[in-house]
Amino acid sequence: MSGDAQEIDCDEAVEHLYTYLDEALTPEVQKAVRSHLEHCRDCFGHFEFERAFLRFLEARCRAQGAPPDLRKRVFEGILLDHDRNPR
């Protein structure tokens, strides 16, 4: 690899993969991971798999929604917190 981006190895690229997918890296690290993925077939394949997996999970969660008992517990927790800490 060459250019302005800091060079990283495969281990570093994979280590940052989920935060890269979440766009939660510093601009410098984001650029380094992107540059590595552009040049490394193995890591790019890993990236493609993880991206597809996350999209599947997102779609599945959106389609099913939260189970009723979980929704109830969350709302009860919000109400309880509000009762303890009124503004």
- The pLDDT of residue 85: 67
Residue written as tokens 């766009």?
23
For the chain, what are the domain ranges? 10-84
- The pLDDT of residue 87: 58
- The pLDDT of residue 11: 96
pLDDT tens, residue by residue, 33-85: 999 999 999 999 999 999 999 999 888 888 777 788 988 998 888 887 766 66
Average pLDDT in the 9-14 region? 95
The pLDDT confidence band at residue 30, using thresholds 50, 70 and 90, is very high
- The pLDDT of residue 3: 46
Distance CA 34, CA 55 (A): 19
